[in-house]
Copies of this chain bind each other. A is one copy, B any other.
Amino acid sequence: MQTLFIKTPVTVEAHAAVVGKKEGEGPLRDCFDLVAEDIFFGENTFEKAESKFVSQAINLTLKKAGLKPDAIDLLFGGDLLNQCIGTSYGIRSFEIPFLGLYGACSTMAESLALASVTLSCGQISRAIAVTSSHYYSAERQYRFPIEYGGQRPPTAQWTVSGSGAVLLKNGGRGVRVTSVTIGKMLDFGITDANNMGPAMAPAFVDTLKTHLKDTHRKVSDYDLILSGDLGSFGMEMARELAKDEGIFLGENYADCGCLMFDLKRQDVHAGGSGCGCSATVFCGAILPELESGKYRRVLLISTGALMSPTAIQQGESICGIAHAVCFEGE
């Protein structure tokens, strides 16, 4: 069984989303707690700016909960940068026990899943799940520095600059995590670093199918099924692949990468991506709707392309992975 049921109440105590300027000009502009004035966010490198997104997201989350860092038992987090430095330097000053994760853009669901499972054991009180990404730090690491001015193909996605943090609590009332489904790594032979959607779509469908089977539910049992960042091409592919499995994704299916930007107006091609994409969209736009009661049950499936420039240079293909976390309102 790939699905773990969270049987004791694990609830969302607070959350925050901090994003970059471009994200703050998109359709979700009013959903974020803080929008950076520019891509450097007051720092002198892109990587340090990314770490500042992380520290600000955690600071705001703690502030909303009225807590200090020493009230947090564990922090689960990761990002796209080599050695996950976005997270490690972002959390350094808090001195919270830390478990570093790497699941590419699936890391937000991975963090939430592991935090929920660990909390459900009943020995700790509070855990934070946090992830981040940054357009400039990611592009120069995975593809080309932006200053190079490379042409972006239509399938390219725009790495979201930002960080989202969720503070989960053992017990309490409010929005709960009720189950998590851990995905398998799937390799469909994609080798184009500018075409991540199709590398991740099969993993999304596999995890969705497994989650529905394990929970004996159907698509209509969810107010919203949310993929992490498949983008417009990946989303269409996901619908097709799901249909082949007898799963019909209708109006209640959306993708964080497509929600984040105005695809026509903002020149982001196939949509948003990055560990920060599902983190900021979920924390900024979706969790409040669960808290308000507009949504009763939401399935977040963050999707990751385990893409490595070194591996691609050595002729390897890009594996996809997806993890699912089910949230339910009171």
Q: Which residues of A contact B (CB under 8 A)?
A: 1-2, 4-5, 45, 47-48, 73-74, 78, 81-85, 88-89, 91-92, 95-104, 110, 113-114, 117-118, 120-121, 123-124, 182-187, 306-311, 314, 316, 319, 321, 323
Contacts and interface: CB of A to CB of B under 8 A. Distances in A.
A96 B186 CA distance: 10
A97 B321 CA distance: 9
Nearest to A106: B100
Given A89-B316, A185-B95, A2 B73 contact: yes
A102 B124 contact: no
Contacts of A84: 102, 306
Contact of A124 (B1, B82, B97): B1
A96 B183 CA distance: 8
B48 A314 contact: yes
B308 A82 contact: yes
Contacts of A82: 82-83, 308-310
Given A306-B88, A319-B92, A47 B184 contact: no
Given A102-B102, A114-B114, 18 more contacts: A1-B123, A2-B73, A45-B314, A47-B314, A82-B309, A85-B308, A85-B310, A85-B316, A88-B319, A89-B311, A98-B182, A99-B113, A99-B114, A100-B103, A101-B102, A117-B118, A118-B118, A121-B121
B311 A2 contact: no
A73 to B, nearest CB: 7
24 contacts: A2-B73, A47-B311, A74-B182, A82-B82, A82-B309, A82-B310, A83-B102, A83-B308, A83-B310, A83-B311, A88-B185, A88-B319, A92-B185, A95-B185, A96-B184, A97-B184, A99-B101, A99-B103, A99-B182, A100-B321, A101-B101, A117-B117, A118-B118, A121-B121
Contact of A306 (B4, B5, B83, B118): B83
Contacts of A311: 47, 83, 85, 89
B1 A98 contact: no
A133 to B, nearest CB: 14
